[in-house]
């Protein structure tokens, strides 16, 4: 195990290089906005987001080294630091804020303003970064060798292998271009349906389908076969066990919460009416169980963090310079008072206190947990659910009930969710900086810049997507936000179908007893099976190349990693075209016609479900080709 006292970064502390430059700031902001918007679309569509650190790093190297002919690994690191902040802020925001849009739709009231969304996002992001600053020495430096921070280490390896930056960036852009064209043909020109669906007549209540989209294939490849199989297992339980049983025993009965006879419901309506609530119970239970299992780690982390809070590194070297403690304390205090007094943010004094207390706690927990298990396994949604349950109970007990109380609870949960997401991302970025030899102070300033830039734009993305398709629709289910909305409503109004929710809770308990990771299984149960099926395709492609015999382990690893870069490009490409199509869906070119209607060619040419599956097979072939075409290192 590597000793922190003897560690030497790639760029020594005695050497100064361009770092926080106008080029790195501008390019970082562009990537923060791009990846933030793409991840917002992806998360609202499938309930998952992906790390933007490595794609941002390779694009940065492609632009800075190959186009601008500049040569500074520290400048590249600042770009990925700023760029990845957009992805993590988007992840925190989309888990909660769409609930406010859904309530506005139901109540006939106005949706949250752009200013309100920007301020909530900025407050959460700034607090998350400020809380992480005094923890850097304790978690990143003193526990180097103990906490691996896998994404941070991987990103450092990519940066250090900078001579490969051009090839890597080309792979990302290739995936982006292929996915962009594919998405435009599928959901813009509508030549084939992006959701292929088949109802199994002989097995009433069941069905199978696939969203034949690049992002899902890419997410499945990045997650791997194991996680994808857990998702598919959850979907299989819902669509091939529970739904046929409901159809069999329900008959012509009308059972709450649905108002139609069960015999008249299609598989998708069965899922919406019943399975979604069972899945919500399973996801909530999975998130809470993950926190309970982590309690020893949480307690130990919190104790160590309090002891090490503000501990200064035993050096005045460039690589040990953080933003001053006075900036942290004043910044947190000012932000808390601003939350309380700002009329745009629906948080009172009690809410601001809850945010600061829970925010520091979860920022600390998040920072250590991503160090051990990586950002992908950070139970941010579980932390948000726990916060929402406690915040809603407290607000209800103090007399803040009804819509006012629910909006306040979601606002508190939003800030906490963003704090946890940003703290985890900041930890990974600071670990990357520690390995390559960046100046921590410059990275922390970069995180703040990326957070503010993303906060300003995320509201526009949320408004745009809601205006085009509406949250909670088939095109934009917003699964986490819908779950958070259900949790708050259930506590405040007691109007949830609790029998369904608790059946999901105990399904999660059984899954936990069997030793299967609960959260991916529960998410697969909560989401339509149409999302799990393309992901397992991507997971199986990666499994094939991981198991395939190669000349050396290094070549196998190189091929798998190239597939990850291509998949990251596909996710970004679909997200960007998804946002562009949302713009088309609200641009009027006639009284009742939009630009999206004009480019829709489905009535002229449509190759149908089987054609969609065939085109998806071709897309999968491009992923395989991107891996196979990897050149062997000399």
DSSP letter assigned to residue 203: S
CB < 8 Å & 24+ apart, contacts of 310-317? 310/134, 311/134, 311/137, 311/138, 311/142, 312/137, 313/137, 313/141, 315/13, 317/13, 317/14
**Is-contact 584 464, C-beta < 8 A?**
no
Q: Whole-angstrom Cα distance, residue 515 to residue 509?
A: 10
Q: Is the pLDDT of residue 627 over 80?
A: yes
Label residue 251 left, alpha or beta by phi (over 0 means left) and psi (-120 to 50 means alpha): left
Q: At what angle do helices 479-493 and 380-397 cross, to 10 degrees?
A: 20
Bridge partners (DSSP) listed for residue 588: 594
- Position 518 scores a pLDDT of 85
User: Cβ contacts of residue 64 below 8 Å, gap of 6+?
Assistant: 23, 24, 27, 70, 72, 75, 76, 79
**Residue bearing the bigger pLDDT, 231 or 367:** 231
| Rounded mean pLDDT, 383-393 | 80
- Position 63 scores a pLDDT of 81
**Residue bearing the bigger pLDDT, 516 or 219:** 516
Helix (H, G, I), strand (E, B) or coil at 439: coil
Report the range of poorest mean pLDDT among 209-218, 452-461, 467-476, 528-537: 467-476
Q: Is the pLDDT of residue 604 over 50?
A: yes
Using one digit for the tens of pLDDT, what is the confidence trace for 496-545? 788 888 999 999 999 999 999 887 888 788 888 998 999 999 999 999 99
Q: Is the pLDDT of residue 594 over 90?
A: no
Helix (H, G, I), strand (E, B) or coil at 207: strand
Q: Is the pLDDT of residue 555 over 80?
A: yes
- Position 61 scores a pLDDT of 77
Using one digit for the tens of pLDDT, what is the confidence trace for 563-592? 888 887 887 788 778 878 877 877 888 777
- Position 611 scores a pLDDT of 93
Residue 209 has φ and ψ, to the nearest 5°, of: -170, 180
| Rounded mean pLDDT, 161-186 | 78
**Residue bearing the bigger pLDDT, 377 or 151:** 151
**Is-contact 117 36, C-beta < 8 A?**
no
634: confidence class by pLDDT, cuts 50, 70, 90: very low
239: confidence class by pLDDT, cuts 50, 70, 90: very high
Chain Cα centroid distance, residue 428: 15
Q: How buried is residue 568: exposed, middle or buried, by Cβ count under 10 Å (0-12/13-18/19+)? A: buried
Using one digit for the tens of pLDDT, what is the confidence trace for 255-292? 888 888 999 999 988 988 899 888 878 877 876 776 67
44: confidence class by pLDDT, cuts 50, 70, 90: confident
- Position 337 scores a pLDDT of 92
Helix (H, G, I), strand (E, B) or coil at 515: coil
**Residue bearing the bigger pLDDT, 4 or 20:** 20
Report the range of poorest mean pLDDT among 47-61, 213-227, 293-307, 466-480: 293-307
Q: Per the confidence metrics, is the pTM higher than 0.85?
A: no
Residue 601 has φ and ψ, to the nearest 5°, of: -105, 15
| Rounded mean pLDDT, 394-414 | 87
109: confidence class by pLDDT, cuts 50, 70, 90: confident
Mean pLDDT for the chain? 84
Q: Whole-angstrom Cα distance, residue 407 to residue 415?
A: 12
Strands, E, within 61-103: which ranges?
A: none
Chain Cα centroid distance, residue 610: 31
Bridge partners (DSSP) listed for residue 211: 195
487: confidence class by pLDDT, cuts 50, 70, 90: confident
What count of other Cβ atoms lies within 10 Å of the Cβ of residue 363? 27
Give whole-number Cα distances, 633 to 157, 591, 630, in Å.
16, 59, 9
Helix (H, G, I), strand (E, B) or coil at 562: helix
| Rounded mean pLDDT, 222-248 | 92
Helix (H, G, I), strand (E, B) or coil at 195: strand
Give whole-number Cα distances, 443 to 129, 394, 446, 496, in Å.
10, 37, 5, 45
331: confidence class by pLDDT, cuts 50, 70, 90: very high
**Is-contact 439 72, C-beta < 8 A?**
no
Share of the chain above pLDDT 90, in %: 27
Q: Is the pLDDT of residue 236 over 90?
A: yes
Give whole-number Cα distances, 377 to 24, 148, 149, 398, in Å.
29, 14, 12, 35
Total number of residues shown for the chain? 634
């Amino acid at each position: 195990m590597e000793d922190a006292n003897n560690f030497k970064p790639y760029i020594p502390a005695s050497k100064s290089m361009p770092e926080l430059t106008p080029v790195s700031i501008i390019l970082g902001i562009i990537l923060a906005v791009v990846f933030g918007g793409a991840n917002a679309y992806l998360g609202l569509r499938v309930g998952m987001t992906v790390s933007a650190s490595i794609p941002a790093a390779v694009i940065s190297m492609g632009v800075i080294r190959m186009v601008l002919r500049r040569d500074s690994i520290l400048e590249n690191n600042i770009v990925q630091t700023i760029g990845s902040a957009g992805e993590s802020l988007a992840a925190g925001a989309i888990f909660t804020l769409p609930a406010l849009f859904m309530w506005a739709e139901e109540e006939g009231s106005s949706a949250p303003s752009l200013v309100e969304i920007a301020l909530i996002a900025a407050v959460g992001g700034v607090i998350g970064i400020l809380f992480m600053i005094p923890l850097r020495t304790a978690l990143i430096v003193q526990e180097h060798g103990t906490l691996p921070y896998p994404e941070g280490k991987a990103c450092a390896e990519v940066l250090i292998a900078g001579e490969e930056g051009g090839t890597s960036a080309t792979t990302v852009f290739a995936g982006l271009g292929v996915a962009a064209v594919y998405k435009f043909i599928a959901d813009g020109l509508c030549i084939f349906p992006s959701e292929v669906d088949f109802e199994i007549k002989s097995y009433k209540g069941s069905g199978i389908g696939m969203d034949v989209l690049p992002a899902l294939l890419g997410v499945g490849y990045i997650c791997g076969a194991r996680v994808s199989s857990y998702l598919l297992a959850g979907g299989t339980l819902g669509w091939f066990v529970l739904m046929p049983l409901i159809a069999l025993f329900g008959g012509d009965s009308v059972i709450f919460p649905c108002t139609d006879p069960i015999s008249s419901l299609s598989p998708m309506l069965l899922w919406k009416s019943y399975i979604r609530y069972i899945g919500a119970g399973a996801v909530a239970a999975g998130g809470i169980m993950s926190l309970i299992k982590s309690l020893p780690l949480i307690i130990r982390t919190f104790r160590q963090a309090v002891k090490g809070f503000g501990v200064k590194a035993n050096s005045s070297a460039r690589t040990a310079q953080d933003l001053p403690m006075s900036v942290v304390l004043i910044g947190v205090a000012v932000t808390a008072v601003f939350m309380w007094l700002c009329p745009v943010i629906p948080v009172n004094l009690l809410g601001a206190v809850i945010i600061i207390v829970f925010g520091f706690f979860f920022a600390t927990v998040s920072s250590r947990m991503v160090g051990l298990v990586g950002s992908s396994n950070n139970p941010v949604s579980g932390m948000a659910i726990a916060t929402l349950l406690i915040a809603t109970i407290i607000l209800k007990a103090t007399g803040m009930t009804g819509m006012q109380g629910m909006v306040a609870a979601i606002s508190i949960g939003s800030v906490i969710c963003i704090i946890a997401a940003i703290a985890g991302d900041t930890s990974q970025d600071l670990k990357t900086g520690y390995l390559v030899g960046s100046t921590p102070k410059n990275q922390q300033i970069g995180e703040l810049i990326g957070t503010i830039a993303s906060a300003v734009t995320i509201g526009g993305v949320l408004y745009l997507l809601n205006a085009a398709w509406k949250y909670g629709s088939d095109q934009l289910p917003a699964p986490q936000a819908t779950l958070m909305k259900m949790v708050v409503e259930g506590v405040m109004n007691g109007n949830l179908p609790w029998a369904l929710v608790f059946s999901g809770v105990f399904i999660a308990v059984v899954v936990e007893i069997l030793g299967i990771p609960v959260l991916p299984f529960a998410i697969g149960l909560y989401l339509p099976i149409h999302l799990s099926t393309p992901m397992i395709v991507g997971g199986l492609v990666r499994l094939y190349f991981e198991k395939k015999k190669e000349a050396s382990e290094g070549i196998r690893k190189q091929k798998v990693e190239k597939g990850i870069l291509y998949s990251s490009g596909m996710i970004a490409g679909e997200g960007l075209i998804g946002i562009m199509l949302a713009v088309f869906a609200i641009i009027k070119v006639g009284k009742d016609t939009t630009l999206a209607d004009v480019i829709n060619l489905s009535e002229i040419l449509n190759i149908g479900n089987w054609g969609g599956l065939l085109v998806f097979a071709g897309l999968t072939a491009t992923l395989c080709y991107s891996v196979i075409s990897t050149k062997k290192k000399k």
